[in-house]
Amino acid sequence: MKSKLKSKINYQKSGVSIDRADKLIATIKKGKQNRDKNVLSQIGGFSSLYKIDKSIDDPVIVSGTDGVGTKLKIAKILKNHRYIGQDLVAMCVNDVITSGAKPLFFLDYLATSKINHQVHSTVLNSIKTACKKSNMCLIGGETAEMPGMYHNNDYDLAGFCVGIVSRRKILTPKKIRSGNIILGISSSGFHSNGYSLINKLIDEKRLKLNKLFNGKTIGSIIIKPTKLYVQIIDLLLRKININGLAHITGGGITENLPRIIPSGHTACIELNKLKIPSIFNYIQEQANISDEEMLKTFNCGIGMIAVIDKDSLNKAHRIFKTNRCPYKIIGHIIKSSSHKKIIYVD
């Protein structure tokens, strides 16, 4: 029996276009590149090369990787992808600087069912801009078309950030002591965490993105990009002694601050000092969850925490004021025999 003539199936017909990928890479290469004298490679190679600065005493490499999570669903609904790249960079670089490190370079990974030049070039240019704001180089990445794995123009992002710090300047829990002051540096909003809960509210029609809240739509509020803390933390590290830094992401203050608290000590957080922004209270009402649940789900208005010596407070205040960076004194460190690394007091 003769076999039927089979039609030709090439890479293009399977849903993957080399031309689309090349066009996207060419767009990113346009304009001024995020490079410094230590970058030894060009975007588009098999690997990225970066020369370590020998002027740093006993250098230690610091790395971090993260994504944006289900905030991508909000961007898709709103058809607003212009800040998603900053979300990705911020989630990675804000982690890296908690070690006291200076960011060096960044790589991104974008996976999708089919490259959408308008959407994905917007995302990648946002990454490029955020890297520039963070004083680091965008030196490479990967864009993957994966038909069958992603559907209906879905895409996902991951980022990888590398920094450097002198071993003697690494921030560890050992530097935190009783009497230290806890400063909460304001967030720009929800950043990139808690969006699975927000999406659930949208699905159940408890939250409407076009509803006005304090003169702005809910959608415009929750899509605001994650704040980059690189510049303000760099200034603080150069001017005062910071004993610890905590990036407040998924898990909120409750889960993230204890990660830097040493044994035998407790972070005492004064609830009345938090002054939680009203949009968080609105989400709490729609979700019908407790204060405790909110504090371990969202950042509640605090995106980064710095633990400093009490005698550094005045100098820190001047730095925040000069750079128009809102902050609050939200607590202090106490000695404790309790196993609890954090307590909340009224």
Is the pLDDT score of 28 beyond 80? no
Task: Let me know whether 126 and 221 are in one domain.
Answer: no
| Residue after which a domain boundary falls, among 169, 194, 217 | 169
φ, ψ at 20 (rounded to 5°) = -65, -40
**What would you measure as the largest C-alpha separation in the chain, in angstroms?**
91
Task: Let me know whether 25 and 155 are in one domain.
Answer: yes
Report the CATH number at residue 269.
3.90.650.10
Task: Let me know whether 233 and 338 are in one domain.
Answer: yes
Nearest to 236 by CA among 304, 137, 160, 175: 304
Report the CATH number at residue 76.
3.30.1330.10
What integer pLDDT is reported at residue 26 of this predicted model?
Answer: 75
For 224-256, write each residue's pLDDT tens digit. 999 999 999 999 999 999 999 999 999 999 999
Task: Let me know whether 198 and 214 are in one domain.
Answer: yes
| Residue after which a domain boundary falls, among 118, 143, 169 | 169
| 291 within some domain | yes
Task: Let me know whether 211 and 144 are in one domain.
Answer: no
Order of all β-strands in the sheet with 59-67? 59-67, 155-166, 102-112, 137-145
Order of all β-strands in the sheet with 327-335? 242-247, 302-308, 181-186, 327-335, 265-270, 342-345
Task: Let me know whether 204 and 87 are in one domain.
Answer: no
| 217 within some domain | yes
Task: Let me know whether 32 and 160 are in one domain.
Answer: yes
Is the pLDDT score of 171 beyond 60? yes
For 1-18, write each residue's pLDDT tens digit. 555 666 666 666 566 667
Percent of the chain residues past pLDDT 70, beyond the cut: 93
Is the pLDDT score of 52 beyond 80? yes
What integer pLDDT is reported at residue 157 of this predicted model?
Answer: 97
| Residue after which a domain boundary falls, among 169, 188, 218 | 169
Task: Please report which confidence band the pLDDT of residue 32 belongs to, taking 50, 70 and 90 as the band edges.
Answer: low
For 271-325, write each residue's pLDDT tens digit. 999 999 999 999 999 999 999 999 999 999 999 999 999 999 999 999 999 999 9
Q: In the predicted model, what is the mean pLDDT of residues 199-205?
A: 95
Is the pLDDT score of 342 beyond 90? yes
Percent of the chain residues past pLDDT 90, beyond the cut: 78
| 121 within some domain | yes
Task: Let me know whether 165 and 180 are in one domain.
Answer: no
Is the pLDDT score of 212 beyond 90? yes
Q: Chain-wide mean pLDDT for the chain?
A: 92
Task: Let me know whether 24 and 88 are in one domain.
Answer: yes
| 189 within some domain | yes
Residue 109 host element (H or E): strand 102-112
Task: Let me know whether 96 and 38 are in one domain.
Answer: yes
For 99-113, write each residue's pLDDT tens digit. 999 999 999 999 999
| 122 within some domain | yes
For 71-86, write each residue's pLDDT tens digit. 999 999 999 999 999 9
What integer pLDDT is reported at residue 22 of this predicted model?
Answer: 73
Is the pLDDT score of 166 beyond 90? yes
Task: Please report which confidence band the pLDDT of residue 57 belongs to, taking 50, 70 and 90 as the band edges.
Answer: very high
The domain of 93 spans 18-46+55-169
Is the pLDDT score of 135 beyond 80? yes
Is 95 in contact with 64 (CB distance < 8 Å)? Answer: yes
| 13 within some domain | no
Task: Let me know whether 144 and 185 are in one domain.
Answer: no
- How far apart are the C-alpha atoms of 282 and 33, rounded to whole Å? 42
| 267 within some domain | yes
| 5 within some domain | no
181-194: burial string, b at 16+ Cβ within 10 Å, e else: bbbbbbbbbbbbbb
What integer pLDDT is reported at residue 193 of this predicted model?
Answer: 96
What integer pLDDT is reported at residue 10 of this predicted model?
Answer: 63
Total domains in the fold of the chain:
2
Task: Let me know whether 156 and 198 are in one domain.
Answer: no
Question: In whole angstroms, how far apart are CA 11 and each of 18, 24, 109, 271?
Answer: 8, 18, 21, 58
